[in-house]
Amino acid sequence: MSIMRKIVLGYVIMIFIPVIAFGYHYYTQIYGNLTQQFVESRQKILEQAYANMKTDFARIQSVHRVLQYNPYLTDYLDGVYDSDADSVYALTRYILPLYSQSMFANPEIESIVIYKMKDRVLPITNLFRDRSMLDPQTEAAVSSLKAGQGIWLRADPNVSEPDLIYYQYIYNTQITERIGLLEIRVSNSLIRNFYAAAGVEGNWKAALMSGQGNLLTNEAAGLDHKTLSLLHEEGRDFFIDRTTIVNQLKLEPLDVRVIITAQVGEVFRSVKQKELVLVTIIVLLLLTLSIAYYLLASTITKRILRLARHMRTLNDDNLRVLTIQSGKFEKDEIGFLIGAYNSMVRRMDELINNVHRAELRNKEAAYQVLQAQIKPHFLYNTLETIRMVAEANNDKEVADISFWFGKLMRYSLTSAQQETVLAKEIEMVDFYMSIHKMRLQSRLTYEIKVDLDAGRLACPRFLLQPLIENSIVHGASAVLRPVHIRLHASETEEEVTIDVTDNGNGIAPDRLLELRDRLSRHDEFKKEDEPVGVGLKNVNERVKGYFGAESRLEIISAPGKGTSLRIVIVKRTVMDVEDTDRRRRAFDSERVS
């Protein structure tokens, strides 16, 4: 299959089909989430409207407390007043203002009536009525009410916006005897305000359902049997049944459920129209982009195919370059690739022609390497000759220093490896310190203490020598008094610590801060940096590079008390035993040679 067909097929399989499938899935998910969030928000609005209505109920019910705890009203209903004149005076002077105040504070109230329980109470038609005028069904509904309890009834149970009536008994001052039944008639504006707060307008409809699941009004005749059955299920306060949005909430004071419904098509009509426009735009855009992609891909693949055909004809006898047609694509990425390919072909031709000269240069380089190996061996043999002559002349100091120096030179020059073990490093430090001890005599003493298996800890070569040299140059050589240098290697479960400590003059605070700052930076060495700074930074970088970024070199110093250079090595996986033995055999072979 050609690359052009692969690009087209790849576009269809990897871009076109996934984009269409993902777009459809994403749209359905977004639409589902949108409708779900919409229904949930409608339910919250309904709950908030119900909370406001309960506040209105509590405000209206507070009229009972005002009347119950008014002594003139309770005395009036209890028949305390002996004459009609006293009753009329108490009524006009103390009771009627309570009525007026309650009606003014609660504009929803249409009337306030009290049905008196005692015959000797003076009846007033508009305010106080005889108990016999109470409807028998209403009397049966309120007969079981206890002190402090009230009940809300609907004046007409067959409409969705009925007038509401509140009943509660009024007791005597000792709350031992019923002396009246309070009736507060509220207009249907309370229910209308509730529906308006719940968003029942336009396409939204409201209906009432009894606690037994029977519709109390005829406005919800559009609900099918499946929707009605879903309304009876527990825990389904809101849902979408195919084309119908349903929210419901129980109105506890009225012992009914309010059902608010709307048609999905009518609510999301604008969304559906925008959906069609959006799908059309996406299809047209995808087709346009597909054509543009095809044209662009063809301009690229043609030149790639031409380059591939030329590469198939390339061999040792045919190293001709690919000609580039001048045009607007000459300097783009593929033109750059073809130019680089032609340069490579020319370079291959040059390499093939010069292969024999390269072989001769390699042979010459190998000869120079053999020559360079002669020089260290000549140096070792010379030092060994000096040591043998010194021993023959019984000059032990010259013999020792020749031996130590020879060991150091062999360690420095013979091994091509950059890795060793800590035991070998400490051995070379011992030779190095012995030479300086021979030079400084009593002005220098040193101590080496190793509290770990140094033969199993791999480390870079010449890790400790710069630290020892720093202690000698800036510790022992800088003062006239005797200086003691101590090397101590120890380990814990987490890390290995190597301390090189001297009791010289120490480092000035500003100089110490400068050195620590130089160790913390990762910039390159500069020519103006002092040798000590370069040496310590080199050790620090080698420690971090070999043992990990958590390992480090620390400088601890105080003026007049000396300096401590500490290498902290965070432990890593223990080396393989075979690898350790291989390194030891390599060191032994170096020592023998």
Q: What is the pLDDT of residues 449-483, one digit of tens each?
A: 999 998 999 888 888 888 888 888 877 667 778 88
pLDDT at 549: 83
Q: Which residues pair with 240 in a beta bridge?
A: 245
* pLDDT 10s digits, 213-267: 677 765 554 566 677 777 766 566 777 776 778 888 888 888 888 888 887 766 6
Tally the C-alpha atoms within 13 A of residue 417's C-alpha that lie toward its C-beta: 16
- 3-state SS, residue 441: helix
- Can you tell me the distance from the alpha carbon of 255 to that of 491, in angstroms, rounded to the nearest whole number? 80
Mean pLDDT of 337-358: 73
**In contact, 404 and 434? CB cutoff 8 Å:** yes
Convert 369-408 to b/e letters by CB count within 10 Å (16 or more is b): eeeeeeeeeeebeebeebbeebeeeeeeeebbbbbbbbbb
Q: Which pair of tokens denotes residue 429?
A: 């430090």
pLDDT at 586: 47
pLDDT at 527: 45
Mean pLDDT of 53-65: 91
Q: Which residues pair with 566 in a beta bridge?
A: 499, 554
Q: For the chain, give the percent of residues with pLDDT over 90.
A: 12
* pLDDT 10s digits, 403-452: 777 777 777 666 556 788 999 889 888 888 888 887 778 888 999 999 99
Predicted model pTM: 0.45
- Can you tell me the distance from the alpha carbon of 61 to that of 402, in angstroms, rounded to the nearest whole number? 115
Mean pLDDT of 308-323: 73
Q: Which pair of tokens denotes residue 24?
A: 């459809």
**In contact, 244 and 261? CB cutoff 8 Å:** yes
Strands 128-130 vs 109-116: parallel, antiparallel or unpaired: parallel
The sign one gets for the Cα dihedral 66, 71, 73, 74 is: positive
User: For residue 261, what are the contacts with CB-CB under 8 A and spacing of at least 6?
Assistant: 204, 205, 206, 207, 220, 222, 223, 227, 244, 245, 246, 247
Q: Per 3-state DSSP, what percentage of the chain is helix, strand, and coil (rounded to 5)?
A: 55, 20, 25
pLDDT at 184: 93
Q: Of 135, 70, 38, 59, give the one whose Cα is nearest residue 103.
A: 59
Measured CA angle at 95 (ends 93, 98), to 5 deg: 115
Mean pLDDT of 543-554: 88
First and final C-alpha spacing in the chain: 64
Q: Of 153, 176, 155, give the one whose Cα is nearest residue 166.
A: 153
Q: pLDDT averaged over the chain?
A: 77
**In contact, 502 and 563? CB cutoff 8 Å:** yes
Strands 164-171 vs 178-186: parallel, antiparallel or unpaired: antiparallel
Helix axes 17-68, 189-197, angle to 10 degrees: 150
Q: Which helix (H) or strand (E) holds 151?
A: strand 150-154
- What is the full DSSP assignment across 1-16? --HHHHHHHHHIIIII
- Can you tell me the distance from the alpha carbon of 262 to that of 219, in angstroms, rounded to the nearest whole number? 12
